[in-house]
A and B are shown apart, each in its own frame.
Chain A
Amino acid sequence: MLYRENGQFKTSYRADQQMLPILQDRIFMGLLLVFVFVVAPFVFSNYFFLSILIPFLILALAALGLNLLVGYCGQISIGHAAFMSVGAYAAYNLVLRVPQLNFLVVLVLAGLIAALVGLLFGIPSLRIRGLYLAVATLAAQFFMDWVFARVKWFTNYAPSGSVSTATIDIFGFQINSPVRKYLFLAAVVTVFAILAKNLVRSHLGRAWMAMRDMDVAAEVIGIRPVYAKLTAFAVSSFYVGVAGALWGFVHLGSWEPLAFSITLSLNLLFMIIIGGMGSILGSFFGAFFIVALPILLNRAPDWLGIHLSTAMVSHLESMIFGALIIFFLIVEPQGLARLWSIGKEKLRLWPFPH
């Protein structure tokens, strides 16, 4: 099948404004969805679900949330794991204190609470920008870390400060096996990815990008910086909050006070730098990368007959992450997503070079 858009003439603006205007892209996406929901549940092992696909999907959602703020609206945050923790603890307390709530409702409420907190810490972005904002978001990180470690009510007075969750039950359907967890996450993440795509191709998304690219010009054409920045903070924190709740309930099951530390925040940033800032697809690339690389690093030396200690592997991983961030910023600032679209462009022109 050739990747060509020749001959696909759009006769209306509606046709031109579809999410995927090119026929081949639609076919590809259709096949991908069939694979994700129909084929994958049968072919992968439990190990693959638990240690790769499940963390990948949740981190992709979190990276997507951060990308809306950093990649689309141009507001940097190095404390986004704080909003994940808000989502996780909000969900924990909702389930604990209002047990009759459906988990889907819990997810949305947890997201909304995270959005509210995100909004609060986003307020400084109205007066400050760029580098100053980076430090302001660190305040969110350390403050929320402290809140959940010290305020006993949030952890239901657990003596160790760690919390554990029960199995999720949605309309009588138990999310208890790796395959079910995977399918549930795949569905949630697909929906959220579509909503995000819709947002960034609407006027709100354009307002975000305008703020990112040239804030003075955006203001002059009537975009309100207050509205654009705060919605970006709120929507971003909502996504990250939902991801945090899923991380706690579906991936971890139980977690310690520092499960959402600054390391996680930095990892989220890493994902969008490597994956591609301002790209929804890129968030997925970045998340996959960060999940797959450590596993590869753990395995690869054994294949070569070298044995490395776990600590050594984690240090190597850190070095490789660092080197990759710098490499991508220098060589391909738009990340893997850009490489992907270059590939598509080449394919479109193939067999001609230009």
Chain B
Amino acid sequence: MGGGKTIGDVVLDLQGISLSFGGVRALQDVTFDVREHEVRAIIGPNGAGKSSMLNVINGVYHPQQGTVSYLGAKRHDVNTHEAAVQGIARTFQNIALFKGMSVLDNIMTGRNLRMKSGLLAQAFRLPSAEREELEHREAVEQVIDFLEIQAHRKTPVGRLPYGLQKRVDLARALAMEPKLLLLDEPMAGMNVEEKQDMCRFILDVNDQFGTTIVLIEHDMGVVMDISDRVIVLDYGKKIGDGTPDEIRGNQAVIDAYLGVSH
């Protein structure tokens, strides 16, 4: 894959990340980088620390050791809000949609960061606030068209089937027009058809908008098909890093997946 697209420089560089909760070591000295415009997959057995990795990148968790460099700025501690401002968006493993809101409102929250009108302007619905609302509504409608969820705009997200909720989760992230998109198991629990749709969306996002993607996925077929480079975690340690072909031949990875004793 990746034919015809140009992979750029390193945009995200993690050095020696260690993270623990009390006595549990979730990540141990993990180092890897992500290049502009690539699809980078993180794989590994359950509990390998994959989600923790994403949480470190956008500042939900703060690692005890290591640095995160994004767009050249090196940090020990990422601030969640700053990460969002700098164009890092993400989806969640267990769908973290705002369940009391409609599909449209959920996706509109992705634009919140760009909406500037003040409290009084909103309360009195001044023309400036109205105009701003409309501009962003139009941007959101483009995402809705792109992900083909027009019919569900006004539905409360809680009433949607699982596969569609995953799509709305992605839509909300895309509404942020991210430079770097973190996807936490975007295809978990989907049927084959839904998975195909989701693959297509991910590749389109990567292709059309040039968005760099870091994704966690369990379906090996999918991972090997759509990603440019793969990193393998096991018990919080990195045990493999390379192109899908290299990973396929990596003995440590095979052992981890087949369960050879440590």
Chain A residues near B19 (CB, 8 Å)?
A: none
**B125 and A198: CB pair below 8 A?**
yes
CA distance A213 to B176 in the complex (A): 19
**A210 and B98: CB pair below 8 A?**
yes
What secondary structure prevails in chain A residues at the interface with B? helix
Instruction: Indicate if B37 sits at the interface (CB-CB under 8 A).
Output: no
CA distance A217 to B112 in the complex (A): 13
CA distance A221 to B98 in the complex (A): 12
Chain A residues near B124 (CB, 8 Å)?
A: 195, 198
Interface string of A196-235 (1 = CB under 8 A from B): 1011001111110110111011111111100000010001
**Residues of B within 8 Å of A, CB-based: how many?**
41
Instruction: Indicate if A278 sits at the interface (CB-CB under 8 A).
Output: yes
Chain B residues near A206 (CB, 8 Å)?
A: 101, 105, 108-109, 112
The minimal Cβ–Cβ distance linking B33 to chain A, given in whole angstroms, is 22
Instruction: Indicate if A14 sits at the interface (CB-CB under 8 A).
Output: yes
Instruction: Indicate if B100 sits at the interface (CB-CB under 8 A).
Output: yes
What secondary structure prevails in chain B residues at the interface with A? helix
**B99 and A203: CB pair below 8 A?**
no
**B119 and A213: CB pair below 8 A?**
no
**A220 and B80: CB pair below 8 A?**
yes
Q: With CB as the reference atom, state the residue of chain B lying closest to A231.
A: B119
**B122 and A204: CB pair below 8 A?**
yes
**A210 and B109: CB pair below 8 A?**
yes
Chain A residues near B81 (CB, 8 Å)?
A: 219, 222, 224
Instruction: Indicate if B110 sits at the interface (CB-CB under 8 A).
Output: yes
For B108, B112, B113, B124, the residue with the greatest tally of chain A CB atoms inside 10 Å of its CB is B112
State the B residues within 8 Å of A (CB): 58, 60, 80-81, 83-85, 89-90, 92, 96-101, 105, 108-113, 115, 117, 119, 122-125, 129-130, 133-134, 136-138, 141, 172-173, 176
State the A residues within 8 Å of B (CB): 13-14, 17, 195-196, 198-199, 202-207, 209-210, 212-214, 216-224, 231, 235, 278
Minimum-distance CB pairs A-B, first 4: A222-B84, A217-B96, A222-B113, A202-B122
